[in-house]
Amino acid sequence: MKNTCLPFFGMKQFFRLCFATLFLWGLSLSVNAQTGTLTKVPYNTRSSNIKGYIEYLPPNYDASGNTKYPVLYWLHGLGEDVGGGTSASLEYILNGQIANWLKTNDVGFIVLIPQDFSGYWNGATNGIKQFVDWANGYYQNVIDVNQQHMAGLSSGGYGIRDFINANTATYQAFATFTPMSTNLNAINGKASQIIANNQYVWIHHNTGDVDPNALTSVTPFHNNVYALDPTRSRITSYDGTGHNSWEKVYNGTGRSTAKRTGTVSGTTYYNWTATDPDWYAWMLSHGKVTAPTPPTVNAGSDVSITLPTNSITLSGSATTSSGTTIAGYSWTKISGPAATITAATSASTTVTSLVEGTYVFRLTVTNSASLSASDDVTVTVIQIPTPPVVRTGVVVSASAGSVRFMGSATDDGGTLTYAWTKISGPAVTLQNQTTAVLTVSGFTEGTYVFGLTTTDDDNLSVTSEVILFVEASASAREAVSEVENTKAVTMFRELTPGTDVMIFNASQEKVFQGKWDASRFQDVFNAEGLYMYHVFTNGQRSTGKLFVKK
């Protein structure tokens, strides 16, 4: 039967749920659907692995990447370096220490136990960094990068020592180190580095171990770290002689082993007791803490709207770093004409009262770490130019009696209706207002504007306007007083360039329509006689008469 213990962790407590399952053991693999698995991976047999190693995968291992696992690297000592990673030599690793214990116990870690060629874990080929780099690539989908841990016994502790001393980016990603029965004198000056890299160390030793791995070969390093931050380093020294403190760590038996306590010769020792969390819980509780970063903000895509639409909804979004939450949103106008932001503290808001122009709105998001970031969105409001209003007209004498206007319309089928109305002018009589042809009578001298609205059976309509100029029936010269004539000439000489003007001669012929310029006076009024004019200024229409004598 296999004793399967899965850790469950709270803030200050650690529980283990143990249950028995069937255990099948082969030459190199323990396989059971409810337990972890141990696999021998010889050198250069899996994705060009640079060291042979033992792989332990926890129960119900999920290779999809949906679950991230803490990883533990276990570095052996000189007694396990036989064979350089072959299948046969890996048996030494498989049948000893933590690997042997994992045959009957389970943990929630990926455990990788490489076999070193030299046993001292040194040099460009033998160093642990190269294997970690390889593993980071091979297991990148499942390793929790904030939960990388390393333990090393005896010469494996030398490997940890050299790993710390090199201070590479690979090393800096690790959260904890557990050197056991080793010598750390070469890194006594690296205490501040441990603090700067936000790392933790737990040293295990036997009080009576001898040179080169005597207790005094690890206490200076511990003391230096402890002096800077007592939470960053602990040392547990078990009573007795021997060079095997690791045998009390992975299986938790060190909690019930007699040990040195208190402060002795300037070194403060950690008393690991039966009520304390086990070693695996300690590692998990000291995972790498990633510094929070500002949120990533998206204010949305730039957008254009066309008047008369004068409002728009801006939809923003943001994500924030692990361990933080979104604390607040703030929309502001950076540039552009006046506008109203209706929900300035929401991720999405409606902006109203927009006018023609270009606006830039900014969404600023703050997370629970009081870090902020912003993103801008541009809103362009377009005013479609209004086309000029074109009117046609006729000039008649007041003595004419009546005049007819003939309208026409085309449609894509169906029935058309007509409606004539008088838009402006003196009193007049209209006949046949609901037909295409309108008869106008009873008019007097002045200017009239009539409108024809045509509607189809889809209730779509369009309106066109026509102007009627009625002149007095007296002679042309009498029809215009000298004062009126002088005012008209002066007006045309001084009229603002670009003003819309329409001019008819006495024969009711249109002699000019367009933008007026004073230089046109001689060309337009080039013949003697009576002229009727129509001037459009600021949406207002004025009319008059001018007599030109040559």
* Residues 192 and 75 reside in one and the same domain: yes
CATH of residue 521: 2.60.40
- Residues 323 and 289: their CA atoms lie apart, in Å, by 9
Name the average pLDDT for the chain.
86
Tell me whether residue 291 is in a domain.
no
- Alpha helix locations (H) across 495-546? 521-524
Tell me whether residue 460 is in a domain.
yes
* Residues 257 and 307 reside in one and the same domain: no
3-state secondary structure 125-173: HHCHHHHHHHHHHHCCCCEEEEEEEEEEECHHHHHHHHHHHHCCHHHHC
Q: Is the C-alpha dihedral spanning 222, 166, 249, 77 positive or negative?
A: negative
* Residues 480 and 467 reside in one and the same domain: no
C-alpha pair distances (Å), 380 with each of 267, 311, 360, 531: 70, 11, 9, 47
Where among 447, 471, 495 does a domain terminate? 471
- Predicted confidence (pLDDT) per residue in 84-135, tens digit: 899 999 999 999 999 999 999 999 999 999 998 888 887 555 679 999 999 9
212 preceded by a cis bond (ω within 30 of 0): yes
Concatenated DSSP letters of 195-249:
HHTT-EEEEEEETT--TTS-GGGTHHHHHHHHHH-TTSEEEEEESS--S-GGGGT
Mean pLDDT, range 46-57, rounded to an integer = 94
pLDDT at 25 over 60: no
> What is residue 127's predicted lDDT score, i.e. its pLDDT?
77
* Residues 240 and 356 reside in one and the same domain: no
Q: Which residue has the higher pLDDT, 250 or 13?
A: 250
Tell me whether residue 205 is in a domain.
yes
* Residues 467 and 481 reside in one and the same domain: no
* Residues 424 and 519 reside in one and the same domain: no
* Residues 271 and 302 reside in one and the same domain: no
Residue carrying the six token digits 């270009």: 358
CATH of residue 145: 3.40.50.1820
Let me know: does 274 contact 256? Beta carbons within 8 Å.
Answer: yes
> What is residue 445's predicted lDDT score, i.e. its pLDDT?
81
* Residues 82 and 206 reside in one and the same domain: yes
- Predicted confidence (pLDDT) per residue in 516-537, tens digit: 988 888 888 888 888 888 888 8
Tell me whether residue 40 is in a domain.
yes
* Residues 92 and 230 reside in one and the same domain: yes
Tell me whether residue 387 is in a domain.
no
* Residues 265 and 308 reside in one and the same domain: no
Mean pLDDT, range 160-188, rounded to an integer = 96
Both tokens of 264, joined, read 């002795």
Closest CA to 91 of 105, 77, 107, 80: 80
CATH of residue 326: 2.60.40.10
Residues 6+ positions from 411 with CB-CB distance below 8 Å = 456
Tell me whether residue 290 is in a domain.
no
Tell me whether residue 66 is in a domain.
yes
- Predicted confidence (pLDDT) per residue in 328-356, tens digit: 999 999 999 999 999 999 999 999 999 99
Residue carrying the six token digits 């441990």: 194
Q: Residue 353: which region, alpha, beta or left (left: phi > 0; alpha: psi -120 to 50)?
A: left
Tell me whether residue 181 is in a domain.
yes
Total tally of structural domains belonging to the chain? 4
Where among 421, 436, 471 does a domain terminate? 471
* Residues 406 and 364 reside in one and the same domain: no
Bridge partner list, 29: 39
* Residues 51 and 149 reside in one and the same domain: yes
Closest CA to 52 of 36, 76, 71, 35: 76
> What is residue 397's predicted lDDT score, i.e. its pLDDT?
67
Where among 452, 471, 490 does a domain terminate? 471
Which structural domain range is residue 527 located in? 476-548
What is the DSSP-derived secondary structure letter of residue 477? H
What is the model's pTM?
A: 0.53
